[in-house]
């Protein structure tokens, strides 16, 4: 392959070829970085112009399994439907490149990105966008701006740009930025969770343990990042992003094709109609704006349009529709900028009314009906074991991976009053579910457990993905699942006329449609776990972004207070909610719990309908069952066995000598079975007359040895060699 351009970036080199392959496409770029090779092509249909006010752009990112030397798993041995990663990557590229197309561009356009070779260290989402942008920039379409992406990680407290996949495993931050050499276009951010720490603590729980017990528990610390720290990361990452686009444009300029002569859709508004609507029907526009539901507002505007057409019969309805829409947009924005009041009467920072109902579905493991204004999400939680995890494969990882925490988001047409059938999962649904997953995952520590959250959007007037985050957290608590923090989500917006701007908290659909920014932020009262931003006005300053982040923090705190209050009133679905418990026992009693040939433990499992896992080395016991009652009863039964003193059949005395059998070897010594079946502990310091590093170097299980009774500690017997 003949490479035309080498671009050196931080932590990576990209090689491009523009002259070797896919020559009949409007634009094509062959990108090689490391051992990864990606081909991106751009093709437009010049025979048709879509008349609607919509850019007919389709982006398809496709991974070929041969790229990593694999054959597709399953029954069909060729690539079938896109994986979640492919769909999410397609969506990222679309959101980054769509703003580049000229206004009025109506030609159906297809961007295809093929991964032909993939190594285990390359960031395919970064390379996919860079390849697609290179193909678009050098194509014969009138686009003269490069867009690229950069990822930032935080490893051992230091910011690393363009990290490898191995480096990302040690990162506590995943920040993805895309933009031009002057402006940010999109932000995706997530916390990758805190580190696991062990805490020795005393606790009293009248249900789990009626006596005070010392336990060692693994706790998961949320690694939500603070607003000020995040802004500093933005500054460093944005600077590198802008510099890289300058490099791209300089390197690619010589390979840009001659621009194709194209006709754009006319977008001129009828000035006569605009003036007439403003002067005679502004009150009707305001009345329609007050209709908060999309369906109600559309009905009101359609009625106004019919009324005006009775007055002006010669007018064309489609032109009048555009004029009414423009006046409505002007009024929405002017009211916010000049009066600091929104269409529904709220102040700029006011959050809509919130109601929370938990466990509304009696046979589900847990559920939450979360309502905020005209947006309502029913989030249902189902618990499972490790075998219930979603299995998937990637090009950059060996073998099959397991996803133990899933968030599935569904948006039916009736949520916005549309008569549309429910079909397969759309890209938007997959993206919103992924955002909610990234928001909640850092606060969970799933130990051999699988959790699935399903968000059914029942009504939508903006911010349904953030309602999914809030409802998802409440569903976790309604299932009595331990979390390290309280997480809420809020959608922010902005309106700007160039000279002044206003930042809006908890935007509704009208403000999303007519505003300049859609900015979703999730996190605790202290920091951010996930973020997604699309900028419509062509860039945002970091000062404005910082203001938006802190306004979002105030909004989250308000929502979290309401959620915390609702959490106190949760009534669990005890009859159907699976339960689990962890505790420790003296390893010397494991034989009694298991019983001869496993008889005792089988009886416990059958009687209480539970599953029991015992770590024979350290005595850790995990009990899992269909409900708490069975789990607690099984735990009580096991503790009864442990707390029942062993009564030796022989009256042993200190100094007496016997022949015993090595029953079990552990790190700190060996358990010796005495003549009547009682166990005694031979500590590692007593195994031999010299220092022993490993007990197994001296003793073997089943070996007969002479021992002497050293001392009694409660109902335990300490031994030494005789």
Q: Which two tokens stand for residue 293?
A: 């539901």
> Is residue 591 in a domain?
yes
Structural domain harbouring 85: 5-190+220-255
For the chain, the first-to-last Cα distance in angstroms comes to 78
CA distances 563 to 374, 459, 685, 689, Å, are 18, 20, 56, 64
pLDDT at 198 over 50: no
CA distances 508 to 216, 334, 607, Å, are 46, 17, 54
Q: What is the pLDDT of residues 497-545, one digit of tens each?
A: 877 889 999 998 888 888 888 899 999 999 999 999 887 656 677 888 8
- Of 48, 99, 121, nearest to 518 by C-alpha is 99
Last residue of a domain, one of 315, 339, 363: 339
Helical packing angle, 464-478 and 542-567, nearest 10°? 40
Which of the residue ranges 9-23, 536-550, 673-687 has the most confident prediction, judged by mean pLDDT? 9-23
pLDDT at 213 over 60: no
Residue-level pLDDT at 646: 58
CATH number of the domain within which 613 lies: 3.30.1370.10
Q: Which two tokens stand for residue 445?
A: 């520590």
Which of the residue ranges 37-46, 587-596, 639-648, 668-677 has the most confident prediction, judged by mean pLDDT? 37-46
Whole-angstrom distance, CA of residue 463 vs CA of residue 431? 13
pLDDT at 234 over 50: yes
> Is residue 650 in a domain?
no
> Is residue 208 in a domain?
no
Whole-angstrom distance, CA of residue 339 vs CA of residue 68? 58
> Is residue 119 in a domain?
yes
User: Do 68 and 97 share a domain, yes or no?
Assistant: yes
Residue-level pLDDT at 205: 31
Last residue of a domain, one of 567, 598, 633: 567
CA distances 630 to 206, 384, 607, 610, 642, Å, are 16, 17, 9, 7, 18
Q: Which residue has the higher pLDDT, 632 or 407?
A: 407
> Is residue 242 in a domain?
yes
Whole-angstrom distance, CA of residue 681 vs CA of residue 702? 15
User: 3-state secondary structure string, 157-183?
Assistant: CEEEECCCHHHHCCCCEEEEEEECCCC
Residue-level pLDDT at 202: 30
User: Do 622 and 704 share a domain, yes or no?
Assistant: no
Whole-angstrom distance, CA of residue 695 vs CA of residue 321? 86
The answer to whether 522 and 439 have CB atoms below 8 angstroms apart is yes
Can you tell me whether residue 487 is helix, strand or coil? coil
Strands 173-179 and 184-191: antiparallel
pLDDT at 470 over 70: yes
Can you tell me whether residue 357 is helix, strand or coil? strand
At a CB cut-off of 8 Å and minimum separation 6, what does 59 contact? Answer: 90, 91, 93, 94, 97, 111, 113, 132
* % of the chain beyond a pLDDT of 90: 42
User: Do 120 and 233 share a domain, yes or no?
Assistant: yes
pLDDT at 647 over 90: no
User: Do 295 and 365 share a domain, yes or no?
Assistant: no
Whole-angstrom distance, CA of residue 132 vs CA of residue 352? 40
User: Do 322 and 371 share a domain, yes or no?
Assistant: no
pLDDT band at 478 (very low <50, low <70, confident <90, very high): very high
- Of 486, 465, 508, 491, nearest to 557 by C-alpha is 486
pLDDT band at 387 (very low <50, low <70, confident <90, very high): confident
Phi, psi of 713 (to 5 degrees): -120, 95
> Is residue 698 in a domain?
yes
pLDDT at 219 over 80: no
pLDDT band at 50 (very low <50, low <70, confident <90, very high): confident
* pTM greater than 0.75 (yes/no): yes
Q: Which residue has the higher pLDDT, 589 or 381?
A: 381
CATH number of the domain within which 309 lies: 1.10.10
- Of 577, 579, 592, 623, nearest to 475 by C-alpha is 577
Count CA atoms within 13 Å of residue 585 on its CB side. Answer: 26
Can you tell me whether residue 107 is helix, strand or coil? coil
Q: Which residue has the higher pLDDT, 427 or 586?
A: 427
Q: What is the dihedral of CA 525, 528, 533, 537, to 10 degrees?
A: 60
Residue-level pLDDT at 332: 86
User: Do 481 and 333 share a domain, yes or no?
Assistant: no
User: Do 358 and 487 share a domain, yes or no?
Assistant: yes
Whole-angstrom distance, CA of residue 58 vs CA of residue 109? 6
User: Do 317 and 364 share a domain, yes or no?
Assistant: no
User: Do 528 and 408 share a domain, yes or no?
Assistant: yes
The mean-pLDDT minimum among 177-181, 240-244, 313-317 falls in 313-317
> Is residue 88 in a domain?
yes
Residue-level pLDDT at 291: 67
User: Do 711 and 584 share a domain, yes or no?
Assistant: no
User: Do 454 and 541 share a domain, yes or no?
Assistant: yes
* % of the chain beyond a pLDDT of 70: 93
Per the prediction, the chain carries an average pLDDT of 86
CATH number of the domain within which 442 lies: 3.30.230.70
User: Do 295 and 244 share a domain, yes or no?
Assistant: no
Residue-level pLDDT at 538: 62
Q: What is the pLDDT of residues 435-466, one digit of tens each?
A: 999 999 999 988 778 999 999 999 998 889 99
CATH number of the domain within which 670 lies: 2.40.50.140
Question: In the block, which residue shows the tokens 């009414």?
Answer: 324
Helical packing angle, 628-643 and 599-608, nearest 10°? 150
Question: In the block, which residue shows the tokens 């070797």?
Answer: 20
pLDDT band at 70 (very low <50, low <70, confident <90, very high): confident
Last residue of a domain, one of 308, 339, 370: 339
pLDDT band at 209 (very low <50, low <70, confident <90, very high): very low
pLDDT at 183 over 80: yes
Count CA atoms within 13 Å of residue 108 on its CB side. Answer: 4
- Of 20, 22, 59, 27, nearest to 43 by C-alpha is 27
3-state helix, strand, coil in the chain (%, to 5): 35, 30, 35
The answer to whether 33 and 16 have CB atoms below 8 angstroms apart is no
Q: What is the pLDDT of residues 155-165, one digit of tens each?
A: 988 999 999 99
At a CB cut-off of 8 Å and minimum separation 6, what does 278 contact? Answer: 327
> Is residue 59 in a domain?
yes
Total domain count, the chain:
5
């Amino acid at each position: 392959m003949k490479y035309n351009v080498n671009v050196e970036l931080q932590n990576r080199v990209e090689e491009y070829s523009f002259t070797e392959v896919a020559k009949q496409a409007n634009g094509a770029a062959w990108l090689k970085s490391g051992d990864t090779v990606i081909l991106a092509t751009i093709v437009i249909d010049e025979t048709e112009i879509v008349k609607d006010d919509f850019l007919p752009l389709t982006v398809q990112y496709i991974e070929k399994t041969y790229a990593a030397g694999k054959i597709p798993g399953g029954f069909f041995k060729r690539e079938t439907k896109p994986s979640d990663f492919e769909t999410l990557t397609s969506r990222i590229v679309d959101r980054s490149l769509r703003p580049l197309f000229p206004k009025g561009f109506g030609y159906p356009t297809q961007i295809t990105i093929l991964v032909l070779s993939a190594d285990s260290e390359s960031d395919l989402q970064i390379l996919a966008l860079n390849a697609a942008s290179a193909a678009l920039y050098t194509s014969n379409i009138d686009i003269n701006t490069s867009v690229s992406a950069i990822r930032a990680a935080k490893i051992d407290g230091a910011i690393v740009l363009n990290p490898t996949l191995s480096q990302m495993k040690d990162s506590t931050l995943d920040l993805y930025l895309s933009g031009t050499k002057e402006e940010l276009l999109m932000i995706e951010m997530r916390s990758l969770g805190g580190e696991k720490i062990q805490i020795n603590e005393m606790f009293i729980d009248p249900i789990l343990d009626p006596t005070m017990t010392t336990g060692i528990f693994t706790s998961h610390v949320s690694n939500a990042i603070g607003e000020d720290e995040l802004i500093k990361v933005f500054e460093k990452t944005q600077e590198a992003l802008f510099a890289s686009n300058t490099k791209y444009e300089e390197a690619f300029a010589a390979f840009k094709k001659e621009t194709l002569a194209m006709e754009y859709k006319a977008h001129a508004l009828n000035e006569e109609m605009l003036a007439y609507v403003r002067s005679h029907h502004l009150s009707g526009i305001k009345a329609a704006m007050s209709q908060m539901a999309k369906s109600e507002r559309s009905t009101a505007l359609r009625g106004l349009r019919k009324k005006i057409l009775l007055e002006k019969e010669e007018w064309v309805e489609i032109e009048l529709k555009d004029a009414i829409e423009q006046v409505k947009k002007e009024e929405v924005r002017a009211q916010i900028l000049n009066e600091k009041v929104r269409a529904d009467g709220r102040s700029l920072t006011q959050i809509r009314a919130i109601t929370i109902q938990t466990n509304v579905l009696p046979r589900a493991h847990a559920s939450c009906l979360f309502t905020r204004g005209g947006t309502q999400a029913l989030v249902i939680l189902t618990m499972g074991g490790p075998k219930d995890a979603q299995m998937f494969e990637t090009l950059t990882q060996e073998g099959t991976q397991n996803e133990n925490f899933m968030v599935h988001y569904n948006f039916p047409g009736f949520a916005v009053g549309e008569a549309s059938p429910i079909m397969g999962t759309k890209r938007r649904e997959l993206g919103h579910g992924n955002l909610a997953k990234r928001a909640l995952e850092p606060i969970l520590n799933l130990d051999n457990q699988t959790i699935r959250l399903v968000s059914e959007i029942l009504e939508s007037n903006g911010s349904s993905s953030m309602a999914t985050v809030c409802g998802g957290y409440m569903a976790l608590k309604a299932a009595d699942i331990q979390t390290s923090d309280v997480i809420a989500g809020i959608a922010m917006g902005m309106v700007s006329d160039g000279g002044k701007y206003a930042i809006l908290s908890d935007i509704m659909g009208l403000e999303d449609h007519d505003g300049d920014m859609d900015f979703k932020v999730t996190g605790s009262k202290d920091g951010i776990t996930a973020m997604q931003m699309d900028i419509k006005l062509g860039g945002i300053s970091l000062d404005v972004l910082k203001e938006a982040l802190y306004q979002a923090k105030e909004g989250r705190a308000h929502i979290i207070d309401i959620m915390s209050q609702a959490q106190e009133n949760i009534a669990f679905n005890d009859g159907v909610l699976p339960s689990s418990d962890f505790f420790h026992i003296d390893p010397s009693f494991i034989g009694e719990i298991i019983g001869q040939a496993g008889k005792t433990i089988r009886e416990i499992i059958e009687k209480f309908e539970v599953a029991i896992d015992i770590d024979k080395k350290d005595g850790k016991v995990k009990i899992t069952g269909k409900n708490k009652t069975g789990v607690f009863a099984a735990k009580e039964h096991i503790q009864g066995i442990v707390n029942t003193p062993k009564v030796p059949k022989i009256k042993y005395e200190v100094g007496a000598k016997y022949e015993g059998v090595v029953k079990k070897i552990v790190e700190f010594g060996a358990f010796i079975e005495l003549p009547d079946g009682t166990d005694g502990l031979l500590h590692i310091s007593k195994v031999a007359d010299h220092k022993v590093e490993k007990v197994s170097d001296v003793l073997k299980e089943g070996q007969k040895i002479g021992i002497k009774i050293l001392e009694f500690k409660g109902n335990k017997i300490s031994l030494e060699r005789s």
